[in-house]
Amino acid sequence: MKKQLSNITRLLLLSGVAVIMSTSCMFLPQKEVEEEPSVSTEEKVNDDGTTVLTKDGRTLVWQDEFNYTGVPDVTKWKYQTGANGWGNNELQNYLDNSTEAKTAVVEDGVLKIKAFKENGKWVSARLNSKQSWKYGFIEGRLKITDRKGAWPAFWMMPQNSVYGGWPDSGEIDIMENAPNVGNHKVFSTLHATGHNGGSGAGIGSKFYDSNLSSEWHTFGVMWTEEKITAYYDDVAVGSYGNDGSGPVNWPYDKEFYIILNLAIGGKLGGDAYVNSLNGQAEFLVDYVRVYQ
Ligand SMILES: [Ca+2]
């Protein structure tokens, strides 16, 4: 109902615009009024009575709902550790959290990635999924840090870099939040040889309200052979198509694994704001799901 009303409103608005435009230009191309493409999660009942979640016709093949307590499931996650700046002059040291719930803690049905100062230096966590996938709908339900100085991310990297080192084998950034480059901003980007670093291919971005950090939102990508589309709260926000030119622009035809991390400072976090974090930041994950 809401959608129908908004479409009627849009039609009225467009026809109003058309009247105004027709006085100055008679040959403007007509734009079709389209409903915003959206997806939904549904419960499908199998023949044996069990149920399975589906998304846009795809079936749930992997998930971590974080409905347990302690360290993140070691059968599903491993850690990338170190304090080398990660190519972006980041400040944090990523710790191995596999035996002690310290920088990645599962409680209250949620994964909490915690960055904090220890002996004057930042520690945090970077979790990589042990499994990797080619194509599907990959989504996370997240509560975003949204504090200048912090840089949480939900993204994917190639399991085997068959086309070469970064950026040649690709990178799929599903959600990055860097208030340093725009208040309450969330964005999604693809990197490859033909579009990398500051020239990455944007597939969506949005400025949220000031309550971004207190509300849950889902972020996902629909990844097919033809294109990768970013979804925010199940609504498509942008996409990038496979133009057939090969791995220079489309290295996204191999298996990628999932990464969840919380960086501090650096290029996107913003060194100037790190002190305003008062020594701690948190990135919350309700679940991560893969549908194929
Ligand atoms: Ca959960």
Residue type at position 124: S
More confident of the two residues 1 and 87: 87
Residue 100 falls within a domain, yes or no?
yes
What is the per-residue pLDDT for 253?
A: 98
| Residue with token string 């009942």 | 45
Residue 1 falls within a domain, yes or no?
no
Residue 25 falls within a domain, yes or no?
no
**Coil/strand/helix, residue 20:** helix
Check 90, 176, 225, 282 and give the catalytic one. Answer: 176
pLDDT in tens, 157-174: 999 999 999 999 999 999
* β-pairing verdict for 121-124 and 93-94: parallel
What is the per-residue pLDDT for 34?
A: 52
Does the pLDDT value for residue 26 go beyond 60? no
Among 183, 119, 181, 191, CA closest to 157: 191
Q: Find the CATH number of the domain harbouring 79.
A: 2.60.120.200
What is the per-residue pLDDT for 35?
A: 52
Compute the distance between CA of residue 150 and CA of residue 8 in angstroms, rounded to an integer. Answer: 41
Question: Which uninterrupted H or E stretch holds 7?
Answer: helix 2-22
CA–centroid distance, 66 to ligand 1, in Å, is 5
Bridge-partner residues for 287, per DSSP? 141
CA–centroid distance, 119 to ligand 1, in Å, is 32
CA torsion through residues 136, 62, 249, 40, sign: positive
pLDDT in tens, 201-246: 999 999 999 999 999 999 999 999 999 999 999 999 999 999 999 9
Mean pLDDT score of the chain? 89
What is the per-residue pLDDT for 208?
A: 95
Check 43, 171, 215, 226 and give the catalytic one. Answer: 171
Q: Exposed, middle or buried, 25 (CB in 10 Å: 0-12/13-18/19+)?
A: exposed
Residue 26 falls within a domain, yes or no?
no
Does the pLDDT value for residue 14 go beyond 60? no
What is the per-residue pLDDT for 22?
A: 34
pLDDT in tens, 111-121: 999 999 999 99
What is the per-residue pLDDT for 97?
A: 95
- Count the residues in the chain: 292
More confident of the two residues 15 and 200: 200
For residue 188, what is the DSSP state? E
Residue 255 falls within a domain, yes or no?
yes
Does the pLDDT value for residue 107 go beyond 90? yes
What are the two backbone dihedrals, phi and then psi, of residue 164, each rounded to the nearest 5 degrees? 115, 175
Residues of the chain with pLDDT > 90, as a percent, come to 80
Number of domain units in the chain? 1
Please give the average per-residue pLDDT across 166-189, as a whole number. 95
pLDDT in tens, 31-67: 444 556 999 999 999 999 999 999 999 999 999 999 9
Residue 27 falls within a domain, yes or no?
no
What is the per-residue pLDDT for 21?
A: 36
Does the pLDDT value for residue 30 go beyond 90? no
CA–centroid distance, 115 to ligand 1, in Å, is 20
Catalytic residue list contains 171: yes
Does the pLDDT value for residue 180 go beyond 70? yes
How big is the CA angle at 237 (ends 234 and 243), to the nearest 5 degrees?
A: 120
178: left (phi over 0), alpha (psi -120 to 50) or beta: beta
Compute the distance between CA of residue 156 and CA of residue 254 in angstroms, rounded to an integer. Answer: 11
Entry pTM: 0.87
Does the pLDDT value for residue 23 go beyond 80? no
**Residues whose CB falls within 8 Å of the CB of residue 132, separated by 6 or more in sequence, listed in order:** 159, 255, 256, 257
Does the pLDDT value for residue 133 go beyond 80? yes
Q: Which residue range is the domain that position 272 belongs to?
A: 8-17+38-291
Residue 95 falls within a domain, yes or no?
yes
Cis peptide before 247 (omega within 30 of 0): no
CA–centroid distance, 3 to ligand 1, in Å, is 29
Residue 33 falls within a domain, yes or no?
no
pLDDT confidence band for 27 (50 / 70 / 90): very low
Catalytic residue list contains 282: no
